[in-house]
Amino acid sequence: MAGGSVEAILFSKVLCPLPWDIRLKIAFGAAKVLLFSMKLKKPVIFRDFKQSNVLLDLEYNAKLSDFGLAKDGPVGDDSHVSTRIMGTFGYAAPEYMMTGHLTAMSDVYSFGVVLLELITGRKCLDKSRPAKEQRLADWALPLLRQKKNLVGIVDPRLDGHYPLKALHKTAMLAYHCLNPNPKARPLMRDIVEILEPLQPPTEDGGKAAV
């Protein structure tokens, strides 16, 4: 993809920081792809959703790559798929790491981590930071609960150039995606519905299509 990976752009030390609207466009595009995968006749769970697997074209439209760890999801009355634990530490859902039980909510958790990276400009795992801040989800989750804390965790490179209302909604969405209880996380279709109104207008004045 001509735009490269989100990881390479978001964490670049030489490129200009991604604007807020572009970050939301990337999150929305990735959510739509995950939703499409889950709505197939035989649902697909990506299992290794992370920044490096989200690729962009020159207009920042998101595509997913590297389906090597993707797994057919549960069908019928099955609640989960039991499988060997694989994926990337920091992005993988805690219940999957503990039990090997894979559900659509596993991808929702991973999406929450990526959304948090887009909000904060921090990597999901950064051993150069103080011990309590090295794992992004552990550090940020308590701070997402109160609006007064949110400005303090936003990527400082944005220099305040973001709408507070959109920040609050996006942060609350990340908070719910990262819920330790998988049954309490939002469905991917709910995530798409929440992100859609936050998208910047298209050239014709409308919103990006779902």
Beta-bridge partner residues of 38 = none
Q: What kind of fold does domain 4-72+86-198 have according to CATH? A: Transferase(Phosphotransferase); domain 1 (1.10.510)
| pLDDT score for 191 | 96
Q: Tokens 């050239």 correspond to what residue?
A: 203
Do you know the residue count of the chain? 210
Element spanning 14, H or E: none
- CA dist 110 and 10 (Å) reads 17
**Residues involved in catalysis:** 48
Instruction: Provide long-range contacts, Cβ within 8 A and 24+ apart, for 97-101.
Output: none
What φ, ψ does residue 45 adopt, rounded to 5°? Answer: -105, 125
- CA dist 106 and 83 (Å) reads 13
Strands 54-56 and 4-5: antiparallel
| pLDDT score for 83 | 57
Q: What is the pLDDT along the chain (210 residues), one digit of tens a residue?
A: 567 889 999 998 888 899 999 999 999 999 998 898 777 566 677 677 888 889 999 899 988 876 444 444 444 434 444 455 555 778 888 888 888 777 888 889 999 999 999 999 999 999 999 999 999 999 999 999 888 889 899 999 999 999 999 999 999 999 999 999 999 999 999 999 999 999 977 655 555 444
Determine the 3-state secondary structure of 54 from DSSP. Answer: strand
Contact 17, 49 (CB under 8 A): no
Look up the pTM and report it.
Answer: 0.85
Phi/psi-derived region of residue 159, left when phi > 0, alpha when psi is between -120 and 50, beta in every other case:
left
- CA dist 209 and 29 (Å) reads 10
What φ, ψ does residue 206 adopt, rounded to 5°? Answer: -95, -165
| pLDDT score for 207 | 54
Task: Enter the tokens of residue 26.
Answer: 């990337």
| pLDDT score for 209 | 44
